[in-house]
Every structure is written in C-alpha cells, then in structure tokens.
Amino acid sequence: MNNRNQPTQARLLVAPAPAATPTHLNVCTVEEYENTGKTQKKWTRIGAAFPHKEGPGFSIELRAFPVDGRLVVLPPYTGSDDSRNNK
C-alpha cells in the first residue's frame, strides 16, 4: 500500500537529560566474608556526606563507625547497577 498521501511523522531527536548533581553522597562500610568458599562483600550504608555551601569540603554524618576504620563514599544508588547491592 502506498503511504504518499499520509502525513509523515518527523522523528524527534531528544538528547538525554543530564544527570542531576546529587545533593549528598552515601557513606558506606564494606565487610568481606566467605560463603561456600567464595569471598563476598557486604555493603552497609552508615551515613551521608553533604557538600559545604560556602566552598569546597563536606560535612559527614555517621550513624555507626566501621570496625576497620575504612569508609567508602559514593553517589546515591539509582538502581541501574546491580553490582552495588544492599545500598
């Protein structure tokens, strides 16, 4: 069937929306453990880091302290990456 008499629909090219700058960062601790002979990691969110309004730097609020003293600070989890479970 000939579609010459039907109006053509122009495809709209829409650029993806820029990623929003997070207003905070998650503070986590990572514990390694063995399960059935495999080393695995357990991520626990223990606080948040907020950028200073006056200049460079962050304020960090913790609900717990890691036993090993190691903190990991990451942007908020969006659910699109399965590698960061339990966050």
What is the model's pLDDT at position 87?
43
On whether residue 41 sits in a domain, the answer given is yes
Which residue range is the domain that position 64 belongs to? 30-74
What is the model's pLDDT at position 44?
95
CA 33 – CA 31 distance, rounded (Å)? 7
CA 51 – CA 80 distance, rounded (Å)? 24
Task: Give the start-end residues of each E strand in 1-87.
Answer: 25-35, 38-51, 58-62, 72-74
What is the model's pLDDT at position 86?
47
On whether residue 37 sits in a domain, the answer given is yes
What is the model's pLDDT at position 50?
94
Report how many domains make up the chain.
1
CA 21 from chain centre, in angstroms, equals 11
pLDDT digits (tens, 9 = 90+) for 39-84: 999 999 999 999 988 889 999 999 999 989 999 999 987 776 545 5
Q: Is 35 helix (H, G, I), strand (E, B) or coil?
A: strand
